[in-house]
């Protein structure tokens, strides 16, 4: 077996992850929801109990030595992905929810985001849609007992 094959066997990514995407769905939803549901800044959102969030420093010793941690800009990328890149997915999720429960009032909900979180109308809309998406993720999980993105959403949406 060649050395690169050994490296791939030892450092194989789990099926739900993509190369260079170090955080999984639970972290994406948790940190995105934490930002939207609080008065935290992006920089505060990437810290827990005053400490920087690191994916798993056992995976890459170089990253551990560098102190690689979640960048505050990553939270905005996640929110923009949730708010801008998934309209078809959110539409299908809403259809499934309506089919499962006729008393769903999701379409009546007002998705308000704190005005301190944005400076432009386009960012407000993105954050609002991201918030709606996070709510849909949770409602879907409660109704169906399953995650919307069981294999990490970027795998499914990448073309």
* Residue 124 domain-assigned (yes or no): yes
> Residues 138-159: pLDDT tens digits?
888 888 888 887 654 444 444 4
Whether 129 is covered by a domain: the verdict is yes
Number of folded domains that form the chain: 1
Domain interval for residue 118:
25-45+71-157
Chain position carrying tokens 């789990």: 14
Longest dimension (CA), the chain: 59
Task: Please indicate, yes or no, if residue 8 is contained in any of the structural domains.
Answer: no
CB neighbours (10 Å) of residue 71? 14
Distance CA 57, CA 135 (A): 31
Is 6 within the bounds of a domain? no
Handedness of CA 43, 48, 50, 51 (dihedral sign): negative
Q: Is 100 part of a structural domain of the chain?
A: yes
| 78, containing H or E segment | helix 72-84
Q: Is residue 53 part of a domain?
A: no
pLDDT digits (tens, 9 = 90+) for 52-86: 777 554 555 565 556 567 788 889 998 998 999 88
Q: Is residue 17 part of a domain?
A: no
> What does the pLDDT look like over 12-63, one tens digit per residue?
444 444 455 556 677 888 889 999 988 889 999 988 887 877 755 455 556 5
Task: Render 38-57 in DSSP notation, one character per residue.
Answer: SS--HHHHTEETTEE--S-T
For residue 18, is it within any domain? no
User: Of 1-5, 6-10, 27-31, 117-121, which gets the smallest average pLDDT?
Assistant: 6-10
Under a CB-based contact definition with an 8 Å cutoff, are residues 113 and 127 in contact? Answer: yes
> Which carries the bigger pLDDT value, residue 10 or residue 123?
123
Q: What is the pTM of this model?
A: 0.72
For residue range 115-143, what is the model confidence (pLDDT) as tens digits?
Answer: 888 899 999 999 999 999 999 998 888 88
């Amino acid at each position: 077996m060649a050395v690169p094959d050994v490296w791939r066997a030892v450092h194989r990514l789990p099926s739900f992850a993509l190369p260079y995407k170090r955080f999984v769905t639970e972290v994406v939803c948790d940190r995105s929801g934490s930002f939207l549901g609080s008065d935290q800044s992006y920089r505060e959102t990437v810290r827990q109990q005053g400490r920087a969030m690191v994916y798993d420093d056992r995976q890459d010793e170089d990253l551990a030595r560098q102190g690689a941690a979640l960048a505050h800009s990553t939270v905005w990328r996640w929110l923009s992905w949730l708010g801008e890149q998934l309209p078809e997915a959110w539409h299908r999720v809403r259809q499934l929810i309506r089919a499962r429960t006729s008393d769903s009032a999701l379409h009546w909900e007002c998705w308000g985001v704190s005005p301190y979180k944005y400076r432009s109308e386009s960012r407000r809309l993105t954050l609002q849609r991201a918030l709606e998406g996070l709510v849909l993720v949770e409602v879907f999980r409660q109704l169906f007992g399953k995650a919307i993105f069981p294999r990490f959403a970027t795998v499914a949406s990448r073309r």
